[in-house]
């Protein structure tokens, strides 16, 4: 009788243990399935934004990966800068011109060059968001992984003639970025007299508004550098030269003088 009772208890214990193990495995399988489903069906923000492009001006991907400019510009900054700020300018620019069909076949550059001819109720929106669109479109293109070094082509000769040396040019350009109080941009432009000039502008104001052509520009809004550099704007300005895309800048200069 004692043996039968012992066997009975052992059988009961084994059965409970097996049922508990099975329940745990089922829970883990469900959790794993749910997690896998979440990963598989989630869509990166940038793909969602591009899929929702409906206006004249389109949000296109960066020409490189978010982390391609590290360690000088971090991936998180690039993602927020492009997917949030840049996307926001495009959306608001499209909204501004949506009620004026006659403006929808014009480039953003033409809208900015002829700002004073636009309907008054959208001028400020086009100035801010059209500038944000044009400035950033250039910004992504004049940076590249494994960039930096010395300028090349005609822009190299033009910088030497206009600023005595490349080092002097870099120092003056950085100073233009430091001197811009608050948000804005440092620029190298081809001015209305056909000469290279270093300047800066507030907010998203484009050099096109003053009749100048932007050859290159560095974004000194805090969203361009704060996650990595905090208040050390000078560190950001110095580091930025390591990602400068001189072939693209030279192309822009040759286009401007042609």
Residue 224 pLDDT greater than 70, yes or no:
yes
Query: Does pTM surpass 0.85?
Result: no
Q: How far apart are CA 256 and CA 58, in angstroms?
A: 24
Q: Write down the mean pLDDT value for the chain.
A: 86
Per-residue pLDDT reduced to its tens digit, 184-199:
999 999 999 999 999 9
Q: Which residue has the higher pLDDT, 32 or 94?
A: 94
Question: Over 80: is that where the pLDDT of 19 sits?
Answer: no
Confidence of residue 179 (pLDDT cuts 50, 70, 90): very high
Question: Is 70 exceeded by the pLDDT of residue 134?
Answer: yes
Give pLDDT tens digits for 35-88.
Answer: 333 323 333 444 445 545 668 999 999 999 999 999 999 999 999 999 999 999
Query: What number is the average pLDDT over the span 2-25?
Result: 41
Given this structure, which CATH class describes domain 154-257? alpha beta
């Amino acid at each position: 009788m004692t043996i039968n009772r012992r066997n009975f208890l052992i059988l009961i214990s084994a059965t409970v243990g097996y049922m508990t193990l099975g329940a745990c495995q089922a829970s883990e399988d469900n959790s794993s399935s749910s997690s896998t489903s979440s990963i598989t069906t989630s869509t990166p923000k940038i793909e969602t934004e591009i899929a929702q492009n409906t206006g004249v001006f389109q949000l296109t991907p960066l020409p490189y990966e978010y982390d391609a400019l590290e360690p000088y510009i971090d991936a998180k900054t690039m993602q927020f800068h492009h997917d949030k700020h840049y996307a926001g300018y495009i959306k608001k620019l499209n909204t501004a011109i949506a009620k004026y069909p006659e403006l929808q076949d014009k480039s953003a550059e033409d809208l900015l060059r002829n700002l004073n001819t636009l309907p008054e109720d959208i001028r400020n929106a086009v100035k801010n968001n059209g500038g944000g669109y044009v400035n950033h479109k250039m910004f992504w293109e004049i940076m590249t992984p494994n960039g930096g070094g010395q300028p090349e082509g005609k822009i190299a000769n033009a910088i030497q003639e206009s600023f005595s040396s490349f080092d002097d040019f870099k120092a003056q350009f950085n100073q233009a970025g430091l001197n811009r109080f608050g948000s804005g941009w440092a620029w190298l432009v081809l001015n209305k007299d056909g000469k290279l000039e270093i300047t800066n502008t507030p907010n998203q104001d484009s050099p096109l508004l003053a009749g100048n052509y932007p050859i290159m520009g560095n974004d000194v809004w805090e969203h361009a550098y704060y996650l990595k550099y905090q208040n050390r704007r000078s560190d950001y300005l110095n580091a930025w030269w390591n990602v400068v895309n001189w072939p693209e800048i030279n192309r822009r200069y040759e286009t401007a003088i042609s």
